[in-house]
Each structure stands twice: as C-alpha cells, then as structure tokens.
A and B are shown apart, each in its own frame.
Chain A
Amino acid sequence: MRVALFVTCVNDALYPATGIAAVRLLERLGVEVDFPPGQSCCGQPQYNTGYRYETEPLVRRTAGAFAGYPYVVTPSGSCAAMIREHYPRIGAKAAAEGRGTDLARLAENLVPRVYELTEFLVDVLGVTDVGAYFPHTVTYHPSCHGLRGLGLGDRPRRLLAAVKGLELVELPGAEECCGFGGTFAVKNPDVSAAMAADKLRNAGATGAAVLCGADNSCLAHLDGTLRRQGAPLRTLHLAEILAATEAEPLL
C-alpha cells in the first residue's frame, strides 16, 4: 500500500521528529510512504483568521501535491480537519463568487483521500496494537479539531492503551480546549494563557510523565507554557510514542 505523507508546515519546520516517527511507524506496518515535495501548508492559519483569498492558492497547491495518491496521511488532526471541513467550503465559495469550479473539484477529489494518522491506522490498516514500546505514564489531550472536527473518538486512546509498558491515565477535563486556537493565542493572550494553565494543572494532577497529543500546534502552546513554568511534565506527539520500540526506545 502506498501513501503520501502530509507532514504539515509546522511539523516540517519545527517538529521534524513527528514526521520521521510517522514514516518509521507506517513503514514498520508495511506501508510504502512517499513525501511529495510540492506540499506546504494547508492554509488553516490564513483561513481561520479570515483571509480566505490568501488560502485559495494553498488549497490548490495541496490538492496538486497529493493528486494521484490513494491515501494522504497526516499526523495533525487540525490540518486534516481543515481539508475535510473547509476545503469544500472554500471551493464552493470561489464558485459562487464566479471564479470557476476547478477549486471545488480539486477539493472534492482530495477530501475523501485524507486521513489523520490514527484514523488511518485504525480504520484503514485495521490495527490498534502497532507493536510499540514505551514504559512510561502517559495522559492524552484530544485536540478539539481531532475530537470534534474529525470525530476521532477513542482511536488515539485505543492505540496508546495497546502500547507495551505504557500506563494510560485519564486527563480530567480532557475535552476542553487548551487555548491555542491559532491566532487566538496572540489575539487573546490572557484568556489563552489562562486556558493553558488550567489544562496543565489538570495534566500535572494525573502524575503522568508525558502529556501526549496528536497536534503539534496545541503541544507547542502547552509545551511553551511548561518550559516557562519549569514543570517536569513533558509533551510528546502520539506518533513518536507509537514509533518507539524495544529495539529503538524513545525515552
């Protein structure tokens, strides 16, 4: 099976370890992974801030980069949700504004092939035990776009629970937003910081060593707050935990 990895711009520049982990994990499961170099950003920061016109070229680029791949897999719930929920809207609006139907067609063609990593593992590959090893206590923060946008449900937790050595502890108030929200974090810094503080207080109370998530943007916001506080908890992307094995442990 051949899949294209959509690594996302944030992961590419700031969290390459997530992309590398996704490649290792998928290859270990017998998947042939490709990285189409024409890919870039899904356009979520622009779109969510209100710059729909600036988003259109990125929709076109993303759809073009992944043309011809039966599966596009991304380790980012919010980028997958951007494509699935908003690309069709952007295409429809461009058509309604008299700028042709090609964007809508590109979106329509891309959307059904895009999978968030845990969706791909559970739904397409049909695995929950990926043969990982991670002997630590972990608590999981389901980011809003994965939770409500994509409806990932308990897929991430099932994958984590099957990891050898891993003790999964429930995060109180897990379903509450961490306060990142893209440009929200800089437009409403006080509310954003208050939300991060509450999320981290809840995470700290679990006694877990690792706060795991499937969206590096949320984790960057939480990790940045932890570092400033000098707290012992560390953040990790789910892909890195799933990629770790007894032969190649992560921590």
Chain B
Amino acid sequence: MPAFPAAAREAVHDDTLRANLRHATHTIRDKRARAVTELADWDRLREAGRAVKDHTIRHLDHYLLRLEEAVTAAGGTVHWAADAAEANRIVTGLVLATGEREVVKVKSMATQEIGLNEALEAAGIAAYETDLAELIVQLGDDRPSHILVPAIHRNRGEIRDIFRTRMGDWGRPAPEDLDDTPAALAEAARLHLREKFLRAKVAVSGANFMVAETGTMVVLESEGNGRMCLTLPETLISVVGIEKVIPTFRDLEIFLQTLPRSSTAERMNPYTTMWTGLGPSKGADGDGPSAFHLVLLDNGRTDTLADEVGRQALRCIRCSACLNVCPVYERAGGHAYGSVYPGPIGAILSPQLRGTASEIDATLPYASTLCGACYEVCPVAIDIPEVLVHLRERVVQGGPVTREGLRVRIRPAAGHTAERAAMRAARLLLDHPGALRRAERVLARTRRFRPHRLPGAAGRAWTETRDLPPVPAESFRDWWTRERGGTR
C-alpha cells in the first residue's frame, strides 16, 4: 500500500469518484444532522454510550468471560482467535467440517479485516456477500471504500454495468435489459441472492453488539439479507471483535437509538436481528441455526487497549458518521486509507491494530486537518483529533507501545529527520524572542528577493497551488516598540 498522500492524489484527480463521494456524503450528512436534532437528549445518549463502552473495555476480561459462559449455556461454542490467521483457520475448519463448500455472508467489518473471503477461497470455499453494496464490490473485483456503504464510490451506471457483465459468473445472471433505476438494480440483486439464501447451509456474519449478560448477538442491517442469513442456514459462524461486547441487554437501548441515526439517519433500524444460542434444537419456534460458533477476534485489540489515549478507538460502533463529515475522506476516497477502516476512524484504528511500521500506517495519523468534525458527530464521543496527535507523536518521537502483549519502545519512524531538525530549529528560535526579532528583520529586509516558488518538498507543496503571504516591512513587535516605545 502506498503512503496516504500518494494514494489520495489519484482520487483527488478522479472527477467521477469525487462527484460520487461528494454527492453521497453530503446527502447523508445532512440527513444525519436532521435525525440527530430530533432527539432532545442526544448529548445525554452520546455520553451514556461513551460511558457504557468505556466501562466495558476497562473490564473487558470480565465481560468476555461472562459472554462465553452465556453463549455456551445457550448451546453455542466460543472460539478465541489471537490474530487474523488464527481466526481464518478456525472459520475455514468449521466450514469444512460441515462438508459444505459455499457460505452466505452478512456484511461484516471483522471478516474483511482478517481477509476471510480470500482465506475461504484458498480452501476451496466460495463466500457470497449478500449485502447489496458488498455484492457490487465483490462482483466488481473491487475493494470496499466505506464502512456502511462499501460501494459509495460507484454510481448507478457503473453498478448496472457490473451486474450485467459479472452476475452470470457467480450465479443467476442479471436480466439482459437491466437499466440503472434503483428498483431494477435491487430486483436483479434480489433474484440473484435469493437463489443463494435458499441453498446455503452455512452462514458467516459479524455482529454489532454482543450482550454479555444473555449471550445475545445483535446484527443491524437495512435490507433483510442479514436476517435471511441468520435464520435460514443450519450453521452460523460469527466473527466478532472483542470490543463489541456490552454488559447488559438494557444497554442496547442507547445504541439502538444512536447507531441508526448516526449511520443511515433513520429513527429506527429496518432489520435488527437478535439471537441467543440455538434455534430448532432448543425447541424454539424453529427459526435459526442448529449450530452456532462465535469466534472472538483480538487481532491487535488488546494491544490497543493498553494505550491510555488510543484505547478510546475501541468504543467505535462503526456508524461511519465520521467518514461522512470528513472533508479529507470526501476528497481522498476510502481506498487511500489502505484498510477496511477508512476515514477518521480508520486513521486512528488501523495504525493501532497494525502498528505504525509500514508507510501507510505511518502516514494515516497525518491524513487529517484536525478540523474536529469527526469528533463532533461521533455517537460515542471518540476524540479522534486527540488520538491522531497522539499517534503522530508515536510516529515522530517513538516511545513505549504494546505489541503482541509485550511492552516495547518503538523508534521514531524513518524519514522524519529533516522535519525533526526544522521543528527543533523553529522551537529554538521561537523560544528566544531576541533572535526571533532579528530573524523577522532579516525577513522584512530581504522580502523583495523572495522567490515565487519555493524549493524543497515542503516549499514546493505550498507554492504548487498557493502564493506565499507577502512579508510586511515591519513586524508587529517593531511597530509596537516604535509606537509605544517598548513595554513595561
């Protein structure tokens, strides 16, 4: 993956992509704002959500053990996965043990994070995405670019073309005369997917929440495809990040209000599916799988938990409100973030889950102007700008971090030597007002000789599209001394 600025450059100059993103993010951000102002107690809900999440991650060990107990008691099996490879191994093994070679999938960030589809494919198992947007991405051999709307970078015409050319390769083909109206596209997807739902014996999902008290898994989605996957197949395998646990059923009250309003600007979520343990074998109403496996995924989360400032990223409920208001995301597009988590939350989550060693992860904390729009909308009040600055510090100054459970001291990332020297020089100058004043005078005296375009990477970056501000003949400091004859 290239560094963020390089990846973003391409997107900035792709006019179709820019227009698609602009249209989509502006529409949904305006709707969200309206949906949120409807609630008089939004600030209290936000604070309550923050508090529940903070409390849970502070006592994560306790709640995870309770969850395991409750899930087991309800007839499920809990598996613990330390990293992506282990999680993939577990899921692949579970699918193979059923004798099946295909699975239907509910849209899930955790399975994308670990690259499950690829791992399944390598084991000869076909994984079918059933979320409309995920289907578009999968058929188009593309990568998702948004947490909630993975195909946000595509417009209707592009989607029609993808359906027409690729659906046949995966199953029921799209009608010959498919046009690009939403109804026609949705109907083509519905028919294509129905075939898969009715055949599937195994489903793979994630979860939005896991209730420790009852062992209940909760999935929110808008299309009903998730409910099909959660009720029709015989075996259900859910891969869930350990930070998704909440203590009690009652806590859902908060998030079932804040999540839909933040993500899709809806008052209530269209499909909220909850299941606790097993279906038919328990003699219940006959719905739901007869085998349930919960794979609890760490993959860098306990390391993140060890960081006092950065751990707040684990509060995230993946609503994607921060993406939709982020001016950088809007222009750079989701792919530039080099991770399944794009936008502001991606900029703080990925470098924590993966570490800051790679080029992309070292540049992600800088993929923000610190404008604060993300913090303002976040329904669990994650101070994303604070974490960004904290991670920048880690990149340029190094320091103690926890990696794979061990406390280690990382060295500053390479490539910041010149910047570090410049920051230090500037600080020395700024910390000596006498010297600062002399420097200002030199600047003023030589102002006529200043070139229009500056050399050096930083200089060029500024003067490529902008002029430098003109240097005044006299600094404020000198004006003050001249006018007021110095100070007391």
List residues of A whose CB falls within 8 A of some B CB: 7, 9, 11-17, 19-20, 23, 34-41, 43, 45-55, 57-58, 61, 86, 89, 144-145, 148-149, 175-177, 179-196, 220-221, 223-225, 227-228
Contacts of B386 in A (CB 8 A): 89
A186 & B462 in contact (Cβ 8 Å cutoff): yes
Contacts of A45 in B (CB 8 A): 423, 426
How far, in Å, is A44 (CB) from chain B's closest CB? 10
Count contacts on B: residues with CB < 8 A to the other chain: 66
Candidates B18, B396, B464; contact of A189 at CB < 8 Å: B464
**Does B250 reach chain A (CB closer than 8 Å)?**
no
Complexed CA–CA distance, A48 and B370 (Å): 8
Q: How many A-B residue pairs have CB under 8 A?
A: 193
B469 & A144 in contact (Cβ 8 Å cutoff): no
In chain B, positions 365-419 with a C-beta closer than 8 Å to chain A are: 365-373, 375-376, 386, 389, 391-397, 419
Stretch from B2-10, B114-122, B153-161 forming part of the interface with A: B2-10
Q: Rank and list the top 3 A-B pairs by shortest CB-CB distance, nearest first.
A: A181-B369, A50-B392, A224-B466
Contacts of A175 in B (CB 8 A): 373
**Does B12 reach chain A (CB closer than 8 Å)?**
yes
Q: Which residue of A lies closest to B416 (CB)?
A: A50
A190 & B371 in contact (Cβ 8 Å cutoff): no
Candidates B8, B427, B477; contact of A12 at CB < 8 Å: B477
Complexed CA–CA distance, A70 and B430 (Å): 24
Contacts of B469 in A (CB 8 A): 14-15, 220, 223-224
B373 & A12 in contact (Cβ 8 Å cutoff): no
A221 & B466 in contact (Cβ 8 Å cutoff): yes
Contacts of B392 in A (CB 8 A): 48-50
Contacts of B471 in A (CB 8 A): 13-14
Candidates B9, B427, B457, B466; contact of A225 at CB < 8 Å: B466
B373 & A177 in contact (Cβ 8 Å cutoff): yes
Complexed CA–CA distance, A46 and B389 (Å): 10
B366 & A187 in contact (Cβ 8 Å cutoff): yes
How far, in Å, is A210 (CB) from chain B's closest CB? 17
Stretch from B71-79, B222-230, B325-333 forming part of the interface with A: B325-333
B433 & A188 in contact (Cβ 8 Å cutoff): no
**Does B458 reach chain A (CB closer than 8 Å)?**
yes
How far, in Å, is B145 (CB) from chain A's closest CB? 15
B328 & A188 in contact (Cβ 8 Å cutoff): yes
Complexed CA–CA distance, A39 and B469 (Å): 22
Contacts of A193 in B (CB 8 A): 464-466
Contacts of B484 in A (CB 8 A): 35
A196 & B393 in contact (Cβ 8 Å cutoff): no
Q: Which residue of A lies closest to B9 (CB)?
A: A190
Complexed CA–CA distance, A61 and B369 (Å): 26
B476 & A227 in contact (Cβ 8 Å cutoff): no
Complexed CA–CA distance, A190 and B3 (Å): 13
Contacts of A191 in B (CB 8 A): 5, 8, 12, 328, 331-332
B395 & A148 in contact (Cβ 8 Å cutoff): no
Candidates A49, A58, A144, A224; contact of B369 at CB < 8 Å: A144
Q: Mark B455-488, 1 if CB is under 8 A from A, else 0.
A: 0011001101111110110111101100010111
B328 & A16 in contact (Cβ 8 Å cutoff): no
How far, in Å, is A229 (CB) from chain B's closest CB? 9
B393 & A50 in contact (Cβ 8 Å cutoff): yes
A50 & B396 in contact (Cβ 8 Å cutoff): yes
Contacts of A180 in B (CB 8 A): 369
**A179-B430 in contact given A35-B484, A46-B423, A186-B462 (Cβ < 8 Å):** no
A228 & B466 in contact (Cβ 8 Å cutoff): yes
How far, in Å, is B437 (CB) from chain A's closest CB? 9
Q: Which residue of B lies closest to A53 (CB)?
A: B397
Q: Mark B107-137, 1 if CB is under 8 A from A, else 0.
A: 0000000000000000000000000000000
**Does B199 reach chain A (CB closer than 8 Å)?**
no
How far, in Å, is A109 (CB) from chain B's closest CB? 20
6 inter-chain pairs at a CB distance below 8 angstroms, sorted by A residue, are A43-B430, A51-B420, A175-B373, A176-B373, A180-B369, A186-B461
